[in-house]
């Protein structure tokens, strides 16, 4: 009797393990299919949209760099409202850093130091980078359950065309040399941001794809 009981219990365990394995495989398949269905807008679609509205993109960014230090007033300007409607842009926000003309020159480094010494950041808003966020979040943002977490794509504008060195965008020259970021090399520039596996990003990293001088597609992963 004891042997039969043990065999019966062993058979039950096998069925439990088999059921758990099938359930896990089914769950992973569902996650994979959901991730595939939630693919974001492609780089080429973003490039095509930019090219179709290039003049309006540039006009809107220039108004932001000129007046965007007062974001509410800027957003309510009639010309801004019209340009946003034409381009399907939701908003523009400040990106990191200030880029003066010839950003790798000693003269540009001195301007950066002068700006910091005088705390004249608002007066130099026209030298900020700009992040252009699009209106349709369904295709510009998504959450990947299997790998990657929250991802999003937007457009990124530099007031001066940056150098690309060792596959990364080089930050403007600093008066005392680069301290926080080795060699001043920050975002990686890739041929395509469409596949997570293609650029193998770390959590919290952003990568860039160049569209034309000063304009990039940016894709980020949250931490």
Tens digits of per-residue pLDDT, 97-126? 999 999 999 999 999 999 999 999 999 999
Question: What pLDDT does residue 176 have?
Answer: 81
Question: Is residue 31's pLDDT more than 50?
Answer: no
Nearest residue to 192 via CA among 165, 216, 162? 216
So what's the pLDDT on residue 174?
Answer: 86
Question: For residue 29, is pLDDT > 80?
Answer: no
Q: How many Å apart are CA 174 and CA 158, to the nearest integer? A: 17
Q: What's the chain's average pLDDT?
A: 84
pLDDT at 165 (0 to 100):
95
pLDDT band at 7 (very low <50, low <70, confident <90, very high): low
Give the chain as a 3 state SS string. Answer: CHHHHHHHHHHHHHHHHHHHHHHHHHHHHHHHHHHHHCCCCCHHHHHHHHHHCHHHHHHHHHHHHHHCCCHHHHHCCHHHHHHHHHHCEEEEEEEEEECCCCCCCHHHHHHHHHHHHHCCCHHHHHHEEEEEEECCHHHHEEEECCCCEEEEEEEEECCCCCCEECCEEECCCCCCCCCCCHHHEEEEECCCCCCHHHHCCCCCCEEEEEEECCEEEEEEECC
Question: Taking 70 as the threshold, does the pLDDT of residue 130 lie above it?
Answer: yes
User: Which residue did the predictor score with more confidence, 176 or 36?
Assistant: 176
* Region 24-53 average pLDDT: 67
170-194, pLDDT tens digit by residue? Answer: 999 988 877 778 889 999 999 999 9
- Candidates 96, 129, 112; CA nearest to 174 is 112
Q: Give the max Cα distance, the chain.
A: 93
**Residue 96 region, left (φ>0) first, then alpha (ψ -120 to 50), else beta?**
beta
């Amino acid at each position: 009797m004891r042997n039969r009981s043990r065999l019966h219990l062993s058979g039950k365990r096998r069925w439990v393990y088999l059921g758990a394995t099938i359930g896990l495989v089914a769950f992973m398949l569902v996650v994979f299919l959901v991730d595939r269905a939630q693919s974001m807008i492609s780089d080429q679609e973003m490039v095509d949209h930019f090219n179709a509205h290039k003049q309006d993109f540039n006009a809107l960014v220039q108004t932001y760099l000129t007046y965007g230090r007062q974001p509410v007033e800027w957003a309510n300007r009639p010309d801004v409202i019209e340009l946003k409607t034409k381009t399907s842009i939701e908003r523009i926000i400040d990106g990191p850093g200030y880029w003066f003309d010839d950003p790798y020159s000693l003269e540009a480094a001195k301007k950066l130091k002068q700006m910091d010494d005088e705390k004249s950041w608002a007066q130099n808003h026209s030298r900020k980078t700009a992040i252009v966020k699009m209106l349709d979040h369904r295709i510009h943002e998504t959450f990947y359950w299997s790998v990657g977490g929250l991802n999003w794509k937007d457009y990124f504008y530099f007031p001066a065309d940056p150098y690309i060195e060792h596959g990364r965008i080089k930050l403007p020259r600093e008066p005392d040399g680069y301290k926080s970021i080795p060699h001043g090399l920050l975002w990686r520039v890739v041929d395509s941001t469409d596949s997570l596996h293609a650029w193998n990003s770390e959590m919290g990293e952003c990568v860039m794809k160049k569209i034309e001088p000063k304009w990039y597609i940016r894709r980020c992963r949250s931490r």
